[in-house]
Structure 1
Amino acid sequence: MKNNGCIDAGREGCPCALAEYGKCLVCSKLSGGSCEDCNWQGSCIYTLYQQNGRKLVKARQDKTYEIAEIKQYGENFKVFVLKADKGFCQKAQTAGAYVFVRASESEEWYGMPVSVLKAEPEKERLHLGVSSCGPKSGSLLTAEKTLCVRGVYYNALSGMGGLDAEPEGSLIYAKGIAMAPLRNFLDGGTRYSQWLKNMNLYVDIDKVGFDFFKDYFGDLPVSSIHVKDFAGDGLCSMEEMGTNEKINVFSLTSPYYADKVEASAGKKIVRPTKGNMCCGEGVCGACTYDDETGKTIHRCKARI
């Protein structure tokens, strides 16, 4: 049985709704097959499903967190610093982590996906950057005292499986608030540092500003940072920089620029996951697409 794997397999919240309805991405028994087709090497998901009374595990519940600080970096861009429990912050300090957030007084459907900008388990602080782009973010930016948070989810980035464990270097394009996931790579210690060897960061600080970049990425070596205007200057091509297959490439940008970087790289890169994340649980279908075999893939779940 061929599958993409599931970002939540074996984690808190597994088995999920997909398993309950026979659509599990990992367990062949819970997707219409038999145990003979299984190649999963973790805890048996079917056994977990049976032990839980043949129903999903409801692990991610809404939590209300107090706003410790609001950093205003522009008319339409803020960073909320939340007082979150240590365990939650530890989970959030993972590459590709995101949460669903809404103003506490807003209805449930106002919850929007926000990549974790920075997690500080020892200080019990969670940093979330929010830029105004529609009704959900506009509502969220009005919050002053508390936020309602659901998570942690882990599939904000695709292409992680293609990273070279022993690269000759790393090339990162980052623009706007899409650069938020980079901080978790930098704070993850040896888990991630191997992927960022000899880093060159090309960054466009449009819409977030210099102060934001200084506050959250000011610890990076100056020699590794190249400030660019992607719209005006364009992207440096891979050929010009002598890039080869031993370079890990990241494009923490909008899909428009990520598509250009991926085409130039000629290989899979790490980039924000395509699709509109709406529930994070593989239920709503907002993030789905059909692969070449006609199988429906849930981007919020599948390792892509």
Structure 2
Amino acid sequence: MFRYVDCIDAGTEYCPCHLAEKGECIICSQLRGKNFCDCLNWKGTCIYEEFIWNNKKAKRIREFKEFTIENKRLIRDDLLLLQVSVNPYLAKQLNNIGSYVFLKKPGSPLCFATPVSIMDSDIKNNLITMVVKILGVKTKDLLECKDKVELKGPYWNGIQGQIFLKNLKGNEILIVARGVAAAPCVMAAKKLIKANNKIIVVLEKGRGNGNFAKERFKSLGCEVYDVNMINYNDYSLSEEFKNLLLELIKKNNFKVTISGGSDEFHRLYLNFVYALDKSLKFATVNNAIITCGEGICGSCEVKLDRGIIKSCKQQYNPAEVFINLRGEGRK
């Protein structure tokens, strides 16, 4: 199985980071205490050289800034749509696959900050759109925002397996999504369609009038299907969903499929389609518990056979995490 290591921040203005200061750089061997140069994934700049030129210190970190809320409304009793005016820099940087930010109510402690994926970024009007699922204290606190919100970003690791999405042109891509995980898939579809890719989307019907992102996918030109994906009595894929997947995979030549859902759903879905077509590549919405976004706190760590992944900023092949090759799923 193809394995790779990448840091989403490598080569950006946020590199080298505090991991380099502590000998924990994901990419640079010399900034992990080795005596030789053996970069894991060259990004066009020497991280070690940048570190030395910066007086052996990390470059600037992302900080919270206050921005104006242009639109705030509940689109379901537990789904909050937020549209926020940002500066041109953020609008441009967040107009990328996997982009996310940290949000909190002005004046709330830092521990209230919660990561939220970007569904859309309008670079002409400097407006970003997000959908927040109201679950606990952090997200309930966002409901109390009036006309301002504090935002920290940009971050880009909201989707794993981005290596399989970059440089795709003129291909067919299958997106399956459930609930709020459809939001980052909208951004992915937007960018992939601009590269002349055909996008087919399968959405969980859910409750009410269907998934909130359905009309957004349609407006992008995606072919959209609605199904009930899960049998909740044993949490397995429904026959309706499996039959649709069989039909779509037979009719189309998909290069990549994107899974938007829980990790348990990723595991069910990836194993099913991998059994149908072992040439498929996978990308998945990142469900890690992300607290700092800088690879420091450890809350996002994923344990693989080859070591620990800091999944808030480190990329991996989703197949390595979710596909069962030895008769049992990874826990």
TM-score (norm 1): 0.88
Separation of aligned partners in 2, 1:271 and 1:211: 18
Instruction: Tell whether the 8 Å contact from 1:67 to 1:147 is kept in structure 2 after alignment.
Output: yes
* Corresponding residue for residue 203 of structure 2: 203
> Deviation of residue 82 (structure 1)?
0.7
Does structure 2 retain, via aligned residues, the 8 Å contact 1:176–1:207?
A: no
Cα distance in structure 2, aligned partners of 1:61 and 1:26: 24
Q: Contact conserved, 1:67 with 1:82, CA < 8 A, in 2?
A: yes
Q: Deviations over 1:65-86 (max 9, x none)?
A: 1111113212221111111111
The answer for the alignment partner of 2:293 in structure 1 is: 280
Q: Where does residue 15 of structure 1 map in the other structure?
A: 16
User: Matched residues in 2 for 1:247 and 1:201: separation?
Assistant: 14
3-state DSSP of counterpart to 1:46? helix
> 2:173 touches 2:257 (CA, 8 Å); kept in 1?
yes
Match of 1:129 in 2: 131
Choose the corresponding residue for 2:64, options 62, 65, 88: 62
Q: Which sits farther off after the overlay, 266-275 or 121-130?
A: 266-275
| CA distance, structure 2, for counterparts of residue 193 and residue 208 of structure 1 | 33
Specify whether residues 44 and 121 from structure 1 end up closer, same or farther in structure 2 by C-alpha distance, changes over 3 A only: same
Q: Is contact 2:162–2:283 with CA below 8 Å preserved after alignment?
A: yes
Asked whether the 8 Å contact 2:31–2:48 carries over to 1, the reply is: yes
What is the correspondence of 1:19-98 to structure 2 with a 5 Å cutoff? 19-38=20-39, 40-98=42-100
Alignment size in residue pairs: 298
Change in Cα spacing, 1:145 to 1:213, as seen in structure 2 (3 Å) is same
Q: Deviations over 1:87-108 (max 9, x none)?
A: 1010000000011111113111
For the pair 1:241 / 2:248, whether they are aligned, the reply is: yes
Deviations 1:170-216 (A, max 9, x none): 211111110111222233367x635x42x221112536855833553
Distance (whole Å) between structure 2 residues aligned to residue 282 and residue 255 of structure 1: 20
Corresponding residue of 2:272: 264
The 8 Å contact of residues 190 and 220 in structure 2, kept in 1 or not, is answered as: no
Task: Give structure 2 stretches of 5+ with no counterpart.
Answer: 232-237, 275-279, 317-331
1:253 maps to 2:261? yes
1:188 and 2:191 matched: yes
Shift of the 301–147 alpha-carbon distance from structure 1 to 2, 3 Å rule, reads same
Name the SS for the 1:143 alignment partner: coil
2 CA distance for matches of 1:85 and 1:101? Answer: 16
Moved more, 90-99 or 265-274: 265-274
2 CA distance for matches of 1:136 and 1:8?
26
- Contact 1:130 1:141 survives alignment (8 Å): no
1:296 and 2:316 are equivalent in the alignment: no
1:82–1:246 Cα change, 3 Å: closer
Counterpart of 1:288, as a letter, is E
**AA matched with 2:47:** I
CA distance in 2, matches of 1:241, 1:188: 22
| Aligned partners of 1:174 and 1:203 also within 8 Å | yes
